[in-house]
Amino acid sequence: MIIMEFEEMKRIWDTQNNEHVYAINETALHKKIIGRKKYTSVSAGRAELIVIFSNILAIGIMTVSGIMKGEVSVFTYALGAVLLFIAIFMTMSRIRRMRSQDKFEASMLGDLEHAIANARYQVWFSRIARLGLLPIAVITLVAVWDGDTSWWKWLLILAFFAVMYFLSGKERNCTVRQMKKLEALRDNLQKEN
């Protein structure tokens, strides 16, 4: 029977310090990057479609409602114009983003650059969507105030927009964090190369 003394165990343990026992699996890393690229692309596309279609839907509802009531206020026109402008602007951004998809080279760093570009776009997009909330909130609140609505309903709508603004800020911070992670990974890979 052989007994290993503790000093022997320590010597075995210390062998890890002199050898590169662990390595980064580059194939797995590339797959993760491709997964991240697809994820950022899909989530950016989904966010665009949600904003575009929800704005078009809101314009449709306002128009139908105005026709049925037989009267359309100046605030409805203003709100409709803002929503339409945002929908057109987002559609153009989407077209521009989709056209730029092919400019990245087919390599791990190229895919990573693509994922970063998607993440940057998401950050920009969430910032624009957040700013877009402000004119919508202002016009809605003024319209509701003008319509002789009770103060608690007005406060409720104000709270709704405040919560939306807060949540969109959280979402933006999340996309910024994802973008920074990808940028840090790219910097590390470039350093290793």
Cβ-in-10-Å burial (0-12, 13-18, 19+) of 126 comes to buried
Going by C-alpha positions, the residue among 123, 141, 6 that lies closest to residue 75 is 141
Examine residue 5 and tell whether it contacts another protein (CB under 8 A): yes
Cβ-in-10-Å burial (0-12, 13-18, 19+) of 116 comes to buried
Examine residue 1 and tell whether it contacts another protein (CB under 8 A): yes
Q: Which is nearer to another protein, 21 or 68 (CB)?
A: 21
Smallest gap from Cβ 131 to another protein, in A, equals: 25
CA 151 to each of CA 34, 154, 186: distance values in angstroms, whole numbers, following the listed order: 52, 5, 52
Q: Which is nearer to another protein, 35 or 169 (CB)?
A: 35
Question: Using only C-alpha atoms, what is the Rg of the chain?
Answer: 26
Q: Which is nearer to another protein, 86 or 179 (CB)?
A: 179
Using CB under 8 A, which of the segments 3-11, 37-45, 125-133, 143-151 binds another protein? 3-11
CA 22 to each of CA 18, 19, 167: distance values in angstroms, whole numbers, following the listed order: 11, 9, 41
Place of tokens 């966010």: 47
Smallest gap from Cβ 126 to another protein, in A, equals: 21
x-or-dash pattern for another protein, window 8-47, by CB under 8 A?
-xx-xx-xxx-xxxxxxx-xxx-xx---------------
Identified binder of another protein from the candidate list 57, 67, 131, 184, rule CB under 8 A: 184
Cβ pair 144, 153 in contact under 8 A: yes
Q: Which residues in this chain contact another protein in the complex, by CB under 8 A?
A: 1-6, 9-10, 12-13, 15-17, 19-25, 27-29, 31-32, 184, 188
